[in-house]
């Protein structure tokens, strides 16, 4: 009636607002009633005994709820929801009463529950008659709400399903569900929590549809607001749980007043969150949003960029890792037909890579018959027929009558028969360049699928998803942007002039502007080849290239906004907060993503770090993140955003500021206001945060509260080394904490900030998950650090911290702990001080005769990465060494192991280890010390990828044993690791070894490498101190593919 009156009065917008609110509340009521009825039915079937004495009353209420909902469509939602939540309380109490009956001494508890149940039943029965239509009695049918189905990710990148619900609302739902299941709450508090839970459940189906469409600016802002509310809800729930734990510690049952106040405050906050979520639910964006051309400038649709003609020959060194990976797939022993798609954006080098593989000697020898037909963008049957003829001619020089005009179907069938007969008996390789318009594509695949002679097809495509008929028989190879060294190698190869020494300083700028894209690298090299070799000329060419990148990167920007899921977009955009002229270590990025809840685990046994790493790999594979540096073992070391994407988002932010949309800051703001969500300090004097942080403490408490009250991430990139700078960060933290800011902080990242003076009040940041103090040269930690009970990562590597507070062992959630190895930091972990059983990373640990290993460190069995050093006290350390050895043997999840045995001068000492063959996940080993059981060298696990030995004093040639490791990519034999005079690498040995470093092996006189050994070697580095080593002729013949560096050791 109210709505009709508004419409008659011309207040249409108000009427629509009321209607949307009613519709939303109806949905929540329907969900609540359905869930309660379903819970009752489960109890009725599985535990009917719990209804003893009240069965008739409970079933009467259940029938009334069902009938009222069906008849009236939940029009009287608030009253109905109130009764539904009361009824759910009764069901929960009945289950508790049944459990108390089974316990010894549970009679008193059961008596209280019986009284409470009867009171609630009477209250519910008194409410139901007052509900509209409660007297009507008609048959009903159950209506079960639909829940969000998880999106399936393409198996292309083996990344777990992550949708909007996983990353935005699931954390809240999981915590609320656990809270309702495990904690006794006051009925009003429970109602408030359930209302939030049901409101989020109602949004799930909408989020599922939203994941599948393009989000315009308005929809993105809406999603960010929902993310912020969810984030606030998680903080509120965690605060409530922590407060209750503290209350229980004060007395066995907790302070009754304190518990009551805590629940009341929690219920009030839940009501506030419910109101915010309801408001967002009412104002949710339309699902059918189409791409807004005016809102994305040139990002309107994907464009076809024609191939760029170049006179340059393919450069193997720039694509060597890709060639190696592709040839491994092509030459695999699997007899069934396989397709190897080369996938990637325009200009990334797909065709170049295919050419390098097509003419590779091993590939030519393996495939007697090869074909690479000329393809066309046309989809006509005539063109497709010509492509098919081209394949047949190249494979078997087959000639047939060509009919002009329309294609005769018998000719097509004859061609396919001939081709099938040929392919069944002859191993073949076919390269197809973007065959999506090839009419006979499915037929060709069917013909090839019938072969079992290891025939292969290389499929070149810029699409990042596979058609259904390829998913089961393909091994995709997504082509990434080139790393810095690969980019420079390609640039110097394409350049037709010698680079003067004074222009070498432009190297970093060149590789950064090109963004690792081969098309731009070659284009720039060819342009510079035509110009004078001066800084002025080259700088102008670089500036011009910056302006010309728009078209090249437009499709990537289009895919980011159109195809990339929201949670992946948030991971990608988080890189914009880092300095634009530096690289980001993957170690730092992955732990930050986990700490900020940007990724969620799909299964219980899946570590969030693994999910984050998969996300990063996918972004790299799609050309949205550039791998800038690799580790020697081939893993990703540092990454950055391609320069063109960085410049685009910077210019967009500048235009927004010019229009007066926001204050000027490089920090991330909450949508719709000037409150800061992610605070970053880039030492930018124009940034509004600069004076607050570095202005000498003149900012008022009111100003701090305005901007920083709800900040959940603070990163500083102030790398100055000045005395006044030491005070600024600490003073800013102290003032913010005293003004009740930063209390929701999850991340405090001060890596490379020089000696920040952390306030003692740091312990008040109880929500903190990540504390990054690496390379700060800090000398001590605040004693209050033990209050950071939610801390997941503590990084004090490269600091001057000598002593750790014993109370640090109370950080039960700690997963990654990096200590400063140089200061011999000890972890005094004892049963009385606490247990860090969640630890996955423990690096920089020092073990001496006082370190509790038995009944201490040896309880840390979930470690994936362990780095420790042991002192050299022969008598006192004997039992400790044995304890450490046994502990390592029990670390079955170990992936990386670094062990040093040193004397007081940090020189190698005796090192004892037991065989590690049972460590199936161990991929990286670093051993420093004299191996007392050298047979361990022949007992490394086959999973090993990276091995470093130093001071081992081996007398027997280790190459025979190490050469059998099938996955070893990097081998470093440093000073005194081998004392023998001869070394022999056998035929077939080290099949995957890419990097070999031999340093100061002064006794080595004779090194033999048989033909067929070290076939994958690309980087050989030798450091000698006495005599110049003689290199094996087998290796000298491999130049220029093999990079050889021989130097006198310093």
Average pLDDT over residues 590-607: 81
Position 893 scores a pLDDT of 93
pLDDT band at 129 (very low <50, low <70, confident <90, very high): low
- Return the number of other C-beta atoms located less than 10 Å from residue 567's C-beta: 22
Position 290 scores a pLDDT of 39
* Region of poorest pLDDT, from 61-65, 150-154, 619-623: 150-154
Position 606 scores a pLDDT of 77
pLDDT band at 295 (very low <50, low <70, confident <90, very high): very low
Using the predicted structure, report yes or no on whether residue 817 has a pLDDT greater than 90: yes
Cis bond leading into 318, ω under 30°?
no
Within 730-773, strands assigned E span 747-749, 770-772
Quote the CA–CA distance of 124 and 60 in Å, as a whole number.
11
pLDDT band at 519 (very low <50, low <70, confident <90, very high): very high
Helix H, strand E, coil C: the string for 609-655 is HHHHHHHHHHHHHCCCCEEEEECCCCCEEEEECCHHHHHHHHHHHHH
Position 150 scores a pLDDT of 27
Quote the CA–CA distance of 225 and 203 in Å, as a whole number.
14
Position 530 scores a pLDDT of 87
The segment with the largest mean pLDDT, out of 155-169, 463-477, 517-531, 764-778, is 764-778
Using the predicted structure, report yes or no on whether residue 582 has a pLDDT greater than 80: yes
Average pLDDT over residues 288-315: 44
Rg (CA), the chain: 34
Which of 657 and 622 is assigned the larger pLDDT? 622
State both tokens at 82: 């109130």
Which of 512 and 238 is assigned the larger pLDDT? 512
The segment with the largest mean pLDDT, out of 161-175, 242-256, 457-471, is 457-471
Position 314 scores a pLDDT of 59
Which of 145 and 535 is assigned the larger pLDDT? 535
Position 159 scores a pLDDT of 43
Position 834 scores a pLDDT of 65
Position 155 scores a pLDDT of 38
Using the predicted structure, report yes or no on whether residue 74 has a pLDDT greater than 50: no
pLDDT band at 756 (very low <50, low <70, confident <90, very high): very high
Quote the CA–CA distance of 899 and 845 in Å, as a whole number.
10
* Region of poorest pLDDT, from 194-203, 641-650, 705-714, 969-978: 194-203
pLDDT band at 791 (very low <50, low <70, confident <90, very high): very high
Residue 454 · residue 396 · CB < 8 Å? no
Which of 25 and 850 is assigned the larger pLDDT? 850
* Region of poorest pLDDT, from 28-32, 74-78, 212-216, 449-453: 74-78
Quote the CA–CA distance of 510 and 487 in Å, as a whole number.
9
Which of 624 and 397 is assigned the larger pLDDT? 624
Using the predicted structure, report yes or no on whether residue 4 has a pLDDT greater than 70: no
Position 910 scores a pLDDT of 92
Quote the CA–CA distance of 539 and 953 in Å, as a whole number.
53
The H-or-E segment that residue 59 falls in is helix 55-72
What is the average pLDDT score of the chain?
A: 79
Summarize pLDDT for 522-563 with one digit per residue, the tens.
Answer: 999 998 888 887 888 888 888 888 877 877 888 888 888 777
Summarize pLDDT for 319-364 with one digit per residue, the tens.
Answer: 988 998 899 889 988 889 999 999 999 999 999 999 999 999 999 9
Position 921 scores a pLDDT of 93
> Which residues are CB-contacts of 797 (< 8 A; sequence separation ≥ 6)?
774, 775, 818, 819, 820, 821, 843, 844
Position 463 scores a pLDDT of 85
pLDDT band at 956 (very low <50, low <70, confident <90, very high): very high
Average pLDDT over residues 82-96: 68
Beta strands 676-681 and 668-669 are: antiparallel
Position 770 scores a pLDDT of 98
Using the predicted structure, report yes or no on whether residue 596 has a pLDDT greater than 70: yes
Position 653 scores a pLDDT of 67
Which of 62 and 375 is assigned the larger pLDDT? 375
Summarize pLDDT for 971-987 with one digit per residue, the tens.
Answer: 999 999 999 999 999 99
Q: What percent of the chain has pLDDT over 70?
A: 74
pLDDT band at 46 (very low <50, low <70, confident <90, very high): low
Average pLDDT over residues 937-957: 96
Residue 613 CA, chain-centre distance (Å), reads 4
Residue 787 · residue 808 · CB < 8 Å? no
**How far, in Å, are 105, 106, 453 from residue 102 at the CA level?**
9, 7, 67
pLDDT band at 102 (very low <50, low <70, confident <90, very high): very low
Using the predicted structure, report yes or no on whether residue 151 has a pLDDT greater than 50: no
Position 25 scores a pLDDT of 62
Using the predicted structure, report yes or no on whether residue 239 has a pLDDT greater than 70: yes
Quote the CA–CA distance of 82 and 277 in Å, as a whole number.
19
Which of 819 and 285 is assigned the larger pLDDT? 819
Q: What percent of the chain has pLDDT over 90?
A: 35
DSSP string, 357-395: HHT-HHHHHH-SEEE-----S---HHHHHHHHHHHHHHH
The segment with the largest mean pLDDT, out of 402-406, 663-667, 989-993, is 989-993
Which of 140 and 231 is assigned the larger pLDDT? 231
Position 17 scores a pLDDT of 62
Summarize pLDDT for 983-1017 with one digit per residue, the tens.
Answer: 999 999 999 999 999 999 989 999 999 998 999 89
State both tokens at 1031: 């290199």
Phi, psi angle pair for 230, to nearest 5°? -60, -40
Using the predicted structure, report yes or no on whether residue 572 has a pLDDT greater than 60: yes
Average pLDDT over residues 58-63: 63
The segment with the largest mean pLDDT, out of 606-620, 684-698, 984-998, is 984-998
Position 797 scores a pLDDT of 95
pLDDT band at 637 (very low <50, low <70, confident <90, very high): very high
Summarize pLDDT for 905-939 with one digit per residue, the tens.
Answer: 889 999 999 999 989 999 999 999 999 999 999 99
Position 741 scores a pLDDT of 93
Using the predicted structure, report yes or no on whether residue 384 has a pLDDT greater than 90: no
Residue 516 · residue 549 · CB < 8 Å? no
Using the predicted structure, report yes or no on whether residue 644 has a pLDDT greater than 70: yes
Position 794 scores a pLDDT of 97
The segment with the largest mean pLDDT, out of 22-26, 608-612, 795-799, is 795-799
What angle in degrees, to the nearest 10, is found between the helix axes of 507-514 and 518-528?
A: 130
pLDDT band at 570 (very low <50, low <70, confident <90, very high): confident
State both tokens at 597: 């809840």
């Amino acid at each position: 009636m109210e709505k009709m009156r508004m419409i008659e009065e011309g207040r249409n917008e108000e009427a629509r607002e009321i209607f949307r609110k009613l519709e939303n509340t109806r949905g929540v009521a329907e969900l609540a009633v359905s869930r309660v009825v379903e819970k009752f039915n489960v109890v009725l079937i599985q535990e009917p005994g719990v209804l003893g004495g009240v069965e008739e009353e409970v079933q009467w209420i259940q029938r009334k709820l069902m009938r009222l909902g069906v008849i009236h469509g939940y029009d009287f939602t608030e009253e109905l929801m109130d009764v539904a939540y009361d009824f759910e309380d009764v069901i929960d109490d009945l289950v508790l009463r049944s459990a108390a009956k089974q316990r010894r001494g549970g009679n008193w508890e059961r008596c209280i529950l019986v009284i409470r149940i009867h009171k609630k039943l009477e209250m519910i029965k008194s409410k139901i008659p007052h509900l509209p239509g409660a007297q009507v009695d008609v048959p009903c049918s159950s209506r079960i709400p639909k829940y969000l189905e998880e999106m399936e990710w393409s198996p292309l990148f083996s990344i777990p399903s992550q949708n909007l619900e996983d990353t935005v609302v699931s954390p809240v739902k999981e915590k609320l569900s656990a809270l309702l299941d495990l904690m006794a709450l006051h009925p009003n508090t429970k109602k408030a929590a359930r209302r939030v839970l049901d409101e989020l459940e109602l949004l799930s189906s909408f989020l599922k549809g939203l994941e599948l469409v393009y989000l315009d600016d308005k929809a993105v802002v809406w999603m960010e607001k929902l993310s912020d509310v969810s984030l606030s809800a998680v903080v509120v729930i965690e605060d409530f749980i922590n407060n209750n734990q503290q209350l229980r510690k004060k007395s066995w049952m907790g302070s009754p007043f304190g518990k009551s106040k805590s629940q009341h405050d929690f219920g009030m906050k839940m009501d506030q969150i419910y109101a915010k979520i309801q408001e967002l639910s009412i104002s949710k964006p339309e699902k059918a949003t189409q791409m807004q051309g005016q809102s994305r400038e040139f990002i309107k649709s994907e464009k076809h960029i024609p191939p760029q003609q170049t006179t340059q020959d393919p450069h193997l060194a720039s694509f060597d890792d890709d060639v190696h990976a592709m040839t491994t797939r092509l030459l695999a022993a699997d007899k069934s037909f396989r397709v190897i798609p080369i996938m990637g954006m325009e200009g990334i080098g797909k065709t170049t890579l295919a050419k390098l593989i097509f003419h590779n000697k091993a590939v030519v020898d393996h495939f007697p018959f090869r074909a690479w037909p000329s393809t066309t963008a046309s989809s006509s049957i005539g063109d497709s027929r010509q492509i098919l003829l081209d394949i047949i001619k190249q494979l078997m020089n087959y000639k047939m009558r060509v009919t002009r005009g329309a294609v005769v179907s018998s000719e097509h069938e004859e061609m396919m028969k001939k081709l099938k007969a040929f392919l069944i008996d002859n191993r073949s390789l076919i390269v197809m360049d973007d065959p999506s318009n090839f009419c006979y594509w499915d037929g060709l695949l069917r013909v090839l699928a019938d072969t079992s002679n290891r025939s292969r097809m290389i499929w070149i495509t810029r699409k990042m998803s596979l058609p259904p008929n390829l998913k089961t028989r393909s091994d995709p190879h997504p082509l990434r942007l080139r790393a810095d060294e690969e980019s420079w190698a390609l640039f110097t190869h394409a350049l037709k002039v010698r680079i003067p020494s004074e222009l070498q300083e432009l190297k970093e700028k060149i590789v950064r502007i090109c963004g690792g894209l081969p098309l731009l690298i070659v284009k720039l090299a060819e342009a510079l080849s035509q110009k004078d070799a001066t800084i002025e000329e080259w700088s102008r060419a670089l500036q011009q290239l910056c302006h010309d990148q728009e078209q090249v990167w437009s499709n990537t920007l289009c895919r980011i906004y159109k195809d990339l899921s929201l949670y992946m977009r948030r991971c990608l955009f988080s890189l914009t907060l880092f300095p634009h002229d530096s690289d980001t270590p993957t170690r730092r990025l992955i732990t930050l993503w986990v700490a900020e809840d940007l990724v969620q685990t799909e299964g219980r046994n899946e570590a969030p770090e693994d999910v984050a790493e998969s996300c990063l790999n996918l972004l790299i594979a799609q050309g949205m993140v550039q791998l800038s540096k690799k580790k020697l073992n081939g893993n990703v070391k540092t990454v950055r955003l391609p320069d063109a994407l960085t410049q685009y988002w910077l210019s967009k932010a500048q235009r927004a500021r010019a229009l007066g949309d926001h204050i000027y800051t490089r920090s991330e703001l909450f949508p719709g206001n000037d409150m800061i969500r992610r605070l970053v300090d880039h030492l930018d004097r124009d940034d509004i945060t600069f004076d607050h942080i570095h202005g000498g403490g003149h900012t008022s408490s009111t100003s701090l509260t305005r901007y920083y009250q709800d900040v959940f991430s603070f990163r500083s990139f102030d790398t100055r080394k000045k005395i006044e700078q030491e005070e600024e960060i600490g003073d800013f933290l102290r003032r913010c904490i005293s003004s009740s800011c930063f209390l929701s902080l999850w991340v405090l990242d001060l890596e490379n900030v020089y000696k920040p003076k952390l306030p003692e009040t740091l312990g008040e940041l109880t929500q903190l998950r990540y504390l990054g103090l690496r390379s700060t040269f800090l000398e001590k930690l605040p004693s209050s650090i033990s209050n950071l009970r939610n801390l997941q990562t503590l990084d004090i590597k490269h600091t001057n911290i000598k002593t750790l507070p014993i109370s640090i062992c109370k950080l039960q959630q700690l997963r990654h702990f990096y200590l400063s190895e140089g200061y011999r930091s000890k972890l005094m972990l004892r049963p009385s001080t606490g247990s860090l059983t969640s630890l996955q990373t423990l690096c920089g640990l020092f073990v001496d005769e006082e370190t509790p290993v038995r009944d201490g460190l040896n309880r840390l069995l979930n470690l994936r990465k362990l780095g420790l050093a042991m002192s050299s006290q022969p008598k006192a350390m004997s039992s400790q060494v044995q304890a450490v050895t046994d502990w390592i043997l029990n670390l079955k999840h170990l992936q990386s192991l670094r062990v040093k045995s040193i004397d007081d001068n940090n020189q190698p000492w005796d090192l004892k280890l037991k065989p590690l063959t049972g460590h199936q996940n161990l991929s990286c080993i670093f051993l420093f010390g004299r191996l007392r059981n050298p047979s361990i060298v022949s007992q490394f696990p086959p999973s090993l990828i990276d091995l470093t030995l130093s001071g081992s004093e081996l007398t027997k040639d280790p190459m025979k044993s190490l050469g059998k490791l099938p996955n070893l990519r990097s081998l470093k034999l440093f000073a005194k690791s081998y004392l023998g005079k001869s070394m022999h690498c056998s035929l077939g040995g080290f099949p995957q070894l890419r990097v070999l470093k031999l340093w100061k092996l002064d006794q080595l006189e004779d090194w033999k490498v048989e033909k067929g050994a070290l076939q994958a070697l690309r980087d050989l580095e030798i450091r000698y101190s006495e005599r110049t080593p003689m290199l094996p002729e087998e290796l000298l013949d491999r130049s220029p593919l093999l990079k050889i560096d021989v130097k006198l050791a310093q």
